Structure 1
Amino acid sequence: MLAPLRHAAFRRLAAGRLVNMVGNAVAPVALAFAVLDLTGSVRDLGLVVGARSLMNVLFVLFGGVLADRVPRRLVLVGSNLLGALTQAAVAALVLTGTATIPLLLALGAANGVVSALAQPAAAAATPQTVPAELIQSANAVIRLGMNAGMIGGTALGGLLVAAVGPGWGLAVDAVTFAVAAVAFAGVRVPAARGGAARTGVVADLREGWTEFAARTWVWVVVLGFMVLNAALAGGVSVLGPAVADATIGRSAWGLVLAAQTVGMVVGGIVALRLRVRRLLLLGVVCMVAESLLLLGLALTPTLVALLAAAVAVGIAVEQFAVAWETSIAQHVPADRLARVYSYDMLGSFVAIPLGQVAVGPAAAVVGTRDTLLILAALVVLSVLGMVSSRAVRRLEASTPGA
């Protein structure tokens, strides 16, 4: 099951993504409470996190083109160095008491651009670091490492916020970007396009769109996740901290997020051993469980209930994540993989800033509890929509050893 770790490039890629996840798990907890400490406004929190998500959406297609044009190692190293600079600036502002919402908006937007450059390259690099028969195991191992990093990161974020303030959590995120850049520097794989003739950016985007649109199962799942991700982003990243502040407390909220990642680790172990033909269908069906955390926040915001819901959600989410990345890697040519990933990310993430910005005003009108219930219903409906597609139900994965 751990055969991918025999390959040096894969080990370095997995290490870099693990370190990235430690910082990325600390940052949302720290940033959320930094904004709440600054203004106490859920609307302001939605604007800050929404600005980052919006820039991520706007630049992710360019990130896909870049990752298919130049060595993915260079994209990963450069984007992480820029990420270290932006997060260090945010941390300095918060620690010195000079942070303002406009400054946090601007730096969050800059960090969103950096993330947009890195994401397609990181996703598309995995199949280049292992033989074809190890792609599913490689995806599962990377997810396990990232989830282990998230466990420590989310718990550390909650503890740092409670003990010394959110600024130190943001400083930790800046350091992890720099460490990840060092790890990615060792990921030496062939350029995806080899000696292929260069074309213009528009032509590259068109070619990526053709690959994306030609597969019904791809765009159906992406459409479903437009709804699902918007609901989760608003419910968990914006309303979640506000509910936690009024009920279980900040440190406990960090534990809830860490518990979800514990579930993801368990789910990753299951995914390592899982060999089924309809892998994507299984993953999509599992996403119904995402509604559990939203329902817990709405109906029973106690630590025990939220911990249990978070673990169940984590197990389910990991089945989809491995199934999706494996399906994409097995069915899309390597030289177009980053661009297909970028269209996937664009479609899946485009509604996130809308959900983050809109959820505050919605909660002010109908109440936090009812807003969370509506979001949970949207998650269930999005899964039903994806499963209704025959292409999603029928897609078969390669299952070595089955």
Structure 2
Amino acid sequence: MSPLPTPSPGTSRSSAFRRRPAWASRNYTLLTGAAVVTNLGSHGALIAAAFAVLDAGGSGGDVGLVAAARTLPLVLFLLIGGAIADRIPRHHVMVAANILNCLSQAAFAVLVLAGDPQLWQMMLLTALCGTGTAFFNPAAEGMLLSSVSGEHSNRAFALFRMAMNGAGIGGAALGGAMIAAMGPGWVLALDAAAFAVAGALRAFLDVGRVAERTSGGGLLADLREGWVEFRSRPWLWSIVLQFSVVVAVVGAAEAVYGPLVARDQLGGPAPWGLALAFFGVGTIGGAVLMMVWKPRRLLLVGTLCVFPLALPSAGLAVPLPVWGLCAVMFVSGTAIEVFGVSWMTTMHQEIPEEMFSRVSAYDWFGSLSMLPLATAVAGPVESAIGRTSALWGCAALVVLVTAAVLLVPDVRHMTRKPPKPTQGAVPATATSSPADSSPAGV
């Protein structure tokens, strides 16, 4: 960041010593701060939910059922959430979703702290939390995309993702320590409080200058419009199809095969936890890189950076020693962050503002659609062909679908466009340039 300018005689102390860069608007700051708070809570809560099931006498299969209860409504309601977020003010959807998440996690915490929670109760509350996330994600992505404009968008996307990833690493570490010291119930309670704080921050978003959106001809009509927008762009649907496979096989490798390899060949869970930590550090490194690097061919660079996602599965198949596995996890974390920022920049410059949430919903839906199936069949596939073959298969699928996407001309030739006037973005102040921000992820 460049040094602060020397204030002129007429410059106020508050403007001379502003606490954020000139391009970081009030909305961007609120959205980033709220995302940090929720990631601190939610990453610890994911661990806490698993231990709550185990502490109640559940099995590994029961842990999987609770995880599936969160994922299923997330997939089912994403498209509806995207259509609603493009019909009514997005920050209203975000705050309402945060309230639902807060209440469901608070009830989960009370249930665990009171003792003897039943499996169906934990599944129900987790499903409510997944439902809130399904409505929140498209609205949040649309809100953040519409808050970005100008030449600093690349930096804003990278900084936002870096903040989220850093909070996720810290939240997982804090959650693990709290579970060991106080039990999972208090971590779930902390997650509920985090949702309450984040919802309060998002309630202060300034939408006064955002152009009002017409509601269209109904929810189904809005969904059809979003689908037409989605399918009319080959670069968009081809990469979403690619990630439906990539997310599925990488998720299966990390959630199922990684812990098994660590247990049987690397000495226990600690090495796998260390490798995952290196992946997180890699994502932060990738975000730092993208704050200064602006590749001209956005999707070509981003897609080339998907190939390294095959490395962790290949490393587990060998298997590499712990230091080697940490190295490939760091590289893959860095690479996926380069893709993420490039993807968000492309979405921001190519998708009309009034379509942000609906297109984002189709993106999320497509990318996550095969994940529950992949994690469910990972065990039977291992039994049928062996763990090593299954892992090599995961790596091969990542390479094959990524190579296929490079055959799409728009993916190879899409270029960064020069900054254009704000499309519905909220100016930082009357005297400063518009802000930049945006989420997304795989």
TM-score, normalisation: structure 2: 0.83
**Structure 2 counterpart SS, 1:6:** coil
Amino acid at match of 2:334: I
Question: Which of 21-30 and 112-121 deviates more?
Answer: 21-30
Question: Displacement, 1:162?
Answer: 4.4
1:230 counterpart = 2:248: yes
Q: 2:297 corresponds to which residue?
A: 278
Q: Which runs of 5+ in 2 are unaligned?
A: 2-19, 421-442
> 1-side partners of 2:190 and 2:269: how far apart?
18
Contact 1:9 1:129 in 2 (8 A): yes
Question: Displacement, 1:363?
Answer: 3.1
Q: What does residue range 119-130 of structure 1 map to in structure 2 within 5 Å?
A: 119-130=137-148
Question: Displacement, 1:352?
Answer: 1.2
Amino acid at match of 1:209: W
- The 1:255–1:83 alpha-carbon spacing in structure 2 relative to 1, beyond 3 Å, is farther
Q: 1:63 corresponds to which residue?
A: 81
Question: Which of 209-218 and 103-112 deviates more?
Answer: 103-112
Q: 1:12 corresponds to which residue?
A: 30
Contact 1:159 1:251 in 2 (8 A): no
Q: 1:376 corresponds to which residue?
A: 395
Question: Displacement, 1:52?
Answer: 1.6
Question: Which of 389-398 and 304-313 deviates more?
Answer: 304-313
Question: Displacement, 1:123?
Answer: 0.8
Question: Displacement, 1:233?
Answer: 1.9
- The 1:210–1:148 alpha-carbon spacing in structure 2 relative to 1, beyond 3 Å, is same
2:169 to 151, 155, 172: 151
Question: Displacement, 1:45?
Answer: 3.3
2:67 to 30, 33, 49: 49
Q: 2:363 corresponds to which residue?
A: 344
- The 1:165–1:197 alpha-carbon spacing in structure 2 relative to 1, beyond 3 Å, is closer
Question: Which of 237-246 and 108-117 deviates more?
Answer: 237-246
Q: What does residue range 2-401 of structure 1 map to in structure 2 within 5 Å?
A: 3=21, 6-35=24-53, 41-190=59-208, 194=212, 196=214, 198-244=216-262, 247-250=266-269, 253-300=272-319, 302-398=321-417
Question: Displacement, 1:115?
Answer: 0.5
Amino acid at match of 1:156: L
> 2-side partners of 1:188 and 1:262: how far apart?
33
Question: Displacement, 1:192?
Answer: 6.2
Pair member with larger Rg: 2
In the TM superposition, what whole-angstrom CA distance separates every residue of 1:197-225 from its partner, at most 9, and x where no partner exists?
Answer: 54200110111111111100000000001
- The 1:355–1:298 alpha-carbon spacing in structure 2 relative to 1, beyond 3 Å, is same
Amino acid at match of 2:290: A
Amino acid at match of 2:174: L
> 2-side partners of 1:370 and 1:158: how far apart?
32
* Structure with a larger share of its residues in helix: 1
**Structure 1 counterpart SS, 2:151:** helix
Question: Displacement, 1:4?
Answer: 6.5
Give the aligned CA root-mean-square deviation in angstroms.
Answer: 2.6
**Structure 2 counterpart SS, 1:277:** coil
Question: Displacement, 1:105?
Answer: 2.5
Number of residue-to-residue matches in the alignment: 401
In the TM superposition, what whole-angstrom CA distance separates every residue of 1:142-166 from its partner, at most 9, and x where no partner exists?
Answer: 1111011012112223333444444
> 2-side partners of 1:331 and 1:94: how far apart?
46
Question: Which of 140-149 and 369-378 deviates more?
Answer: 369-378
Runs of 4+ off more than 6 Å: none
Question: Which of 240-249 and 107-116 deviates more?
Answer: 240-249
Q: Which runs of 5+ in 1 are unaligned?
A: none
**Structure 1 counterpart SS, 2:204:** coil
TM-score, normalisation: structure 1: 0.90
Contact 1:13 1:184 in 2 (8 A): yes
Contact 1:248 1:301 in 2 (8 A): no
In the TM superposition, what whole-angstrom CA distance separates every residue of 1:90-129 from its partner, at most 9, and x where no partner exists?
Answer: 3334444423433332222221111010001111112332
Q: 2:429 corresponds to which residue?
A: none
